[in-house]
Structure 1
Amino acid sequence: MLSQLVLFAIDICAVVLLVFGLYFPRHRRRDLVVSFLGVNIGVLAVASALNATDTGAGLGLGMALFGVLSIIRLRSTELDQHEVAYYFSALALGILGALSTTSVWLSAGLMALILVVMFLGDHRRLFRHYRHQILVLDSAFTDHVALVAHLEQLLDARVHAVTVQRLDLVNETTVVDVRYARTGRAPITEPGAPAHAGAHR
């Protein structure tokens, strides 16, 4: 019983650090703070209750996973991939906090590993020159090579991948999804934000 309470306390400290120490200072999306906390505490409560009965931990954890996955799949607002990673991290912390069959040190170590991975994987300095944007160009590009060359000149960057989302030959516009790495001193914009770009005719 004492070890279970210790795991509960470690889980609460870990999810607070995950949310208020890593996610919110980096991404500032307030609405997801309560989601991460609710997922963690909810999974911790349900898995702990089912783990203490004859139902078995496997069924309890399976139900918890199914519930969280359903919430994420049926979401009404779009989530970025890093936000999905935070969801699963909060979920994993809650499951580890509910597993009384493992040692406290093992569970605490695995929780620490999750936090370290999220700290490093979501660090601003990791791949900091890489960007992802949706651009609206005021020219219709039908040639892929010309499109890439124009984007590299416009962004002062090396284009690694570009996908044409819409090509309007009547209004002469092209909507592209472009992933690139900055090489010069082009203005820095938020990754993933749509932008309008002029084309040199």
Structure 2
Amino acid sequence: MVSILAYGKNKVVTTVDASMRVEEVCGEVIRTPVGDVSVANTVEREHADFGGEPSGSFIFPEVHLFPDGVLTAAVTAKMVSENRFYEILDDVNEYPTLRVKIPCEENKKPVIMASVLKKAKRLDYELNTIDGVRLSSEEGWFLIRPSGTESFIRITAEATTKKKLNQIVKEGREMLDIT
């Protein structure tokens, strides 16, 4: 949904766990740690046109700098009534994604993430450590990050094909020593 609402915007703020589709349909994309406060602060600081995260928090800075479900519904309804929603939907690529939660005691998260980062630096991916460890290539990406609200490590992955997604998830699990 982020990529649809952000479609054609010049400067968009989204979280590190958002789809690579956002880069395909927007101008400049700025990624932040997960959380609507981080998105809102970055939208304000960067004078962005839109902010949103996959959890459903969307920020329209021309109105205000906080997520607003009613405004999001109104914007979406307007797009549908103008037939723009479905035109944009046809224009946005659909990629297979996977989200996995792995139980992890709170006191073990820092040690595990340090190990993941060490392993990640040896791989041939673009590395982003703004919130966890995100490894990206043209064919897909995966993010390993400790949950801030639960005793889990989360793996989020997206790829251009199901085969590539399975390969990426396997690499992520191997980095956590989980097969």
After TM superposition, the score normalised by the length of structure 2 is: 0.27
Larger radius of gyration: 1
Answer 1 or 2: which has greater helix percent. 1
Query: More strand by proportion, 1 or 2?
Result: 2
